[in-house]
Amino acid sequence: MPSLPPAAHSAPATDSRRTLPVVAVIAALIAVPVAVSVGMSWVDLPWEQDTPARARPDWVPMPLLRATTSDGTVVKARVALDVPGSAARMAIQRNVQQVGLLLEVSIARQTRAEIGSSQGIPRLADDMRERLNEYLDAGAEEGPVRSVAIQDLLVKPQ
């Protein structure tokens, strides 16, 4: 029987030596992310603690408001109301003109300088909320309107 050259005997051994590291690298690339994700599921992360969920706002958009401030500046505003109860929502939707007038009165009590100050818009939103809660008061401890968001505010130049 003829003998094979020495290079032919070593070829299968060389192939198995090369495939073993390739298989190990592929297995590590799969095993490491799986191990990390399983390990992270056991860790309590601070932002995932059981905190009471805050109520999500339920916004009621209002029509565009047009008002004149106490110093004669024309202001246009788009406002949305955070109303948690359906009774208050229905009352606002039924009386949208009166609610709009209340919001315009809040703008009319301000001056251009007051609206333009650093606390002008938050103060205006608080005034609007207080007026609406007085108008819609249902005897609840928390008013029917939780907050007022002034989405757009355009102050006409003088």
Tell me what pLDDT residue 143 has: 73
| pLDDT at 9 exceeding the cut of 90 | no
Q: Mean pLDDT over residues 81-89, rounded?
A: 86
Q: Which positions ≥6 away from 39 have C-beta within 8 Å?
A: none
Rg (CA), the chain: 34
Question: What is the rounded CA–CA span in Å between residue 115 and residue 121?
Answer: 6
Is 132 strand, coil or helix? helix
| Block residue for tokens 């301000």 | 110
Highest mean pLDDT (candidates 16-20, 110-114, 140-144)? 110-114
Rounded mean pLDDT of the chain? 82
| Confidence at 81, pLDDT banded by 50, 70, 90 | very high
Q: Which residue has the higher pLDDT, 41 or 116?
A: 116
Q: What domains sit in the chain, N to C, each tagged with a CATH number? A: 59-155 (3.30.479.30)
Question: What is the rounded CA–CA span in Å between residue 92 and residue 94?
Answer: 5
Provide the token pair at 35.
């191990």
Q: What are the beta bridge partners of residue 77?
A: 65, 153
